[in-house]
């Protein structure tokens, strides 16, 4: 059973290594497909008996470190479009700050999750269909600043969603999957950093055993995910992203109903 007592906070027992495995698997998925760190990690932690509030705070804090290493890995492998990066990272950070403040002090962000998931379910199906057609790269995409802001805002409010919202829209509009995943992953560091700062200010955190385990596993997996994103073919990445989005959306809608 999980315990957050001070005496057990730094004990390297079997539960710590469970957190390491959870962080590794979640970051491997996120680094390869550009999304799903939050929901993968949170789902694994909840199944291991971690309380929801502790899981959410731990995931957000660990994500700052794992996205940092993931972003550096994607930069090293030239998976990042620098122009695209700035156009989504800055408004995304602003949206994350506002969203984190609202969910910390004003209202419960969980109520909007089913609506976001319904939208993403449609996007996921479209990406699956498009993956069977020729992939045509496009340089220009529309409303990047708005997309970044909405992605950061909903990510902070809903406890995740930056990757699914931003990556799926960019791929849908014609950006190559490898470039999209690398750029969105790198920008996610700033989104996670600013939202976590707000969460720490309003909510605080003391689940360092969970956080350090997630960071350890996530940092180890980050370079592997970046390499996988670079090596896998565009159509395969698009299909994988679409299927993952459909799976996550159906699961979230199901949990909200039942």
pLDDT tens track of the chain, all 258 residues? 455 543 344 566 778 898 999 899 989 998 998 888 877 787 778 777 777 667 777 887 898 999 999 999 999 999 999 999 999 999 999 999 998 888 777 766 667 777 777 888 888 898 898 888 876 766 677 889 999 999 999 888 876 778 888 998 898 888 888 899 999 999 999 999 998 888 888 767 777 888 999 999 999 999 999 999 988 888 898 899 889 888 888 888 887 787
- Distance (Å, whole) CA 14 – CA 17: 5
**Any domain includes 3:** no
Q: What is the pLDDT of residue 77?
A: 93
**Residue 110: predicted pLDDT:** 65
For the record, the structure tokens of 42 come out as 């949170």
Q: Per the domain annotation, does 6 fall within a domain?
A: no
Residue 8 lies in a domain: no
Q: Which domain holds residue 209?
A: 14-257
From CA 27, how far away is CA 38, in angstroms rounded? 9
Global confidence as pTM: 0.84
Spell out the SS3 assignment of the chain: CCCCCHHHCCCCCHHHHHHHHHHHHHHHHHHHHCCCHHHHHHHHHHHCCCCHHHHHHHHHHHHHHHHHHHHHHHHHCCCCCHHHHHHHHHHHHHHHHHHHHHHHHCCCHHHHHHHHHHHHHHHHHHHHHHCCCCCCCCCCCCCHHHHHHHHHHHHHHHCCCHHHHHHHHHHHCCCCHHHHHHHHHHHHHHHHHHHHHHHHHHCCCCCHHHHHHHHHHHHHHHHHHHHHHHHCCHHHHHHHHHHHHHHHHHHHHHHHHC
Q: Report if residue 4 sits inside a domain.
A: no
What confidence score (pLDDT) does residue 254 get? 85
pLDDT at 256: 78
Residue 83 lies in a domain: yes
Q: Is residue 68 part of a domain?
A: yes
Domain contains 5? no
Does some domain include residue 201? Answer: yes
Our count of domains for the chain comes to: 1
Give the separation between CA 52 and CA 110, rounded to whole angstroms. 12
């Amino acid at each position: 059973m999980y315990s957050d007592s001070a005496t057990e906070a730094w004990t390297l027992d079997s539960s710590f290594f469970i957190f390491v495995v959870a962080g590794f698997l979640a970051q491997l998925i996120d680094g390869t497909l550009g999304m799903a760190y939050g929901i993968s990690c949170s789902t694994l932690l909840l199944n291991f008996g971690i309380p929801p509030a502790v899981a959410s705070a731990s995931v957000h804090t660990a994500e700052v470190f794992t996205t940092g290493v993931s972003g550096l890995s994607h930069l090293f492998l030239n998976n990042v479009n620098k122009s695209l990066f700035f156009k989504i990272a800055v408004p995304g950070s602003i949206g994350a700050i506002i969203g984190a403040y609202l969910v910390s002090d004003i209202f419960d962000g969980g109520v909007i999750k089913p609506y976001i998931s319904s939208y993403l379910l449609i996007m996921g199906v479209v990406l699956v269909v498009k993956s069977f057609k020729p992939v045509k790269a496009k340089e220009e995409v529309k409303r990047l600043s708005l997309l970044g802001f909405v992605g950061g805002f909903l990510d902070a409010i809903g406890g995740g969603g930056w990757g699914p919202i931003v990556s799926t829209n960019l791929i849908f509009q014609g950006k190559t999957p490898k470039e999209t995943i690398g750029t969105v992953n790198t920008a996610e560091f700033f989104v996670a950093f600013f939202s976590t700062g707000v969460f720490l200010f309003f909510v605080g955190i003391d689940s360092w055993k969970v956080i350090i385990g997630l960071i350890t596993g996530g940092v180890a997996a980050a370079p592997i995910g970046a390499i996988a994103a670079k090596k896998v073919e565009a159509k395969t990445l698009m299909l994988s992203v679409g299927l993952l989005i459909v799976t996550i959306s159906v699961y979230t809608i199901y949990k909200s109903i039942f």
